[in-house]
Amino acid sequence: MVPYHSFVGNSDAPHLGVIMHGVLGAGHNLRSFAKRLTEARPDYRFALMDLRYHGKSLGAPPPHRLDSCVDDLLEWAMHHQVAPQAVIGHSLGGKVALRYAHRHESSQGLAHFPAPFASALRQVWTLDSDPGAQEPGENHEVQKVMAALRAAQGPFPSRADAIAALVAQGRSTGLANWLATSLDKGPQGFTWRLELEPIAELLQDYFSLDEWPWLETLPDEGQIRYDLLVAENSDRWSGSMKERAGALTHSPRIRVHLLPDSGHWVHVDNPDGLLAIVSSQLL
């Protein structure tokens, strides 16, 4: 599947990056950040990607796995004859970025791509994305949001009715308004531009994959650099996981950045701090 994307930045910029959103989001959620990043780094142009089952990238066939998202990204690169030098992912998108880099490091699955596509990648960013496996209970925020969406599937007469339905399920007005950016208006009313059951399987794969052992044994030699950004007040990391991330800096290819005054939604909580870190460290 070739996922939907939109470009931000000058078409003649010498470098290309890809930015990927988190679960239940879409590429447009990070447009403001991408626009400011291209202003700070005009040598880069960015593609805002809608991951499968999200935004306008609907109807993707199984399997519903993160590696399928990697396949999509490679298909997109081949279809458009482009080769991204940087891949940036928030939350779920961050682990997709790691899987994309893992594919490059191992060279598995890349043999049938022309050399420029296999060798272009030089930097991966994960924005508040725990690389490890997790065991989320039904009280996990994402699981609660998924339950609320299942209970409020619509169609709705208006966008306000969809927001009210989510608030009635216990979600905050701010979260409900954000989710409402994934509504489409059709003949029957407003419906979600999200494929919930495939997303649920994608989440299960996201929670089960453990990239810590791979990162902790990454060879010192290699062309790809890894920049892991951890939000100071994030609820997605335990204290031990933050310490484990910090220990990765023994590798010359891994850098860990702490974003102060921010929770998980880094591009909303501290956009200036996020921009300063990424723009200054983007290769």
Q: What are the chain's domains?
A: 5-133+209-281 (3.40.50.1820), 141-202 (no CATH)
CB 256 within 8 A of CB 248: yes
* Predicted pLDDT of residue 134: 87
Per-residue pLDDT of the chain (283 residues; tens, 9 = 90+): 999 999 999 999 999 999 999 999 999 999 999 999 999 999 999 999 999 999 999 999 999 999 999 999 999 998 998 989 999 999 999 999 999 999 888 865 566 566 666 678 999 999 999 999 988 777 788 999 999 999 998 899 999 999 999 999 999 999 999 999 999 999 999 999 999 999 999 999 999 999 999 999 999 999 999 999 999 999 888 778 888 999 998 999 999 999 999 999 999 999 999 999 999 999 9
* Predicted pLDDT of residue 113: 61
* Predicted pLDDT of residue 231: 96
Q: What is each CA distance from 131 to 10, 90, 95, 150, 217, in whole angstroms?
A: 32, 12, 6, 27, 14
- 273 Cβ contact partners less than 8 Å away, ≥ 6 residues apart: 259, 260, 261, 262
Joined together, the tokens standing for residue 226 give 């890894």
Q: What is each CA distance from 235 to 64, 129, 232, 239, 265, in whole angstroms?
A: 26, 11, 9, 10, 10
* Predicted pLDDT of residue 63: 96
Q: Please compute, for residue 207, the number of CA atoms within 13 A of its CA located in the half-sphere on the CB side.
A: 15
Helix or strand or coil: residue 186? strand
pTM above the 0.85 mark? Answer: yes
* Predicted pLDDT of residue 276: 98
* Predicted pLDDT of residue 108: 58
Q: Counting beta carbons within 10 angstroms of the beta carbon of residue 78, is it exposed (0 to 12), middle (13 to 18) or buried (19 or more)?
A: middle
* Predicted pLDDT of residue 95: 97
Element (H, E) at 70: helix 66-80
* Predicted pLDDT of residue 230: 96
CB 80 within 8 A of CB 120: no
* Predicted pLDDT of residue 240: 84
* Predicted pLDDT of residue 140: 81
How many CB atoms are located within 10 Å of the residue 81 CB?
A: 9
CB 123 within 8 A of CB 85: yes
Distance of CA 39 to the CA centre of its chain: 21
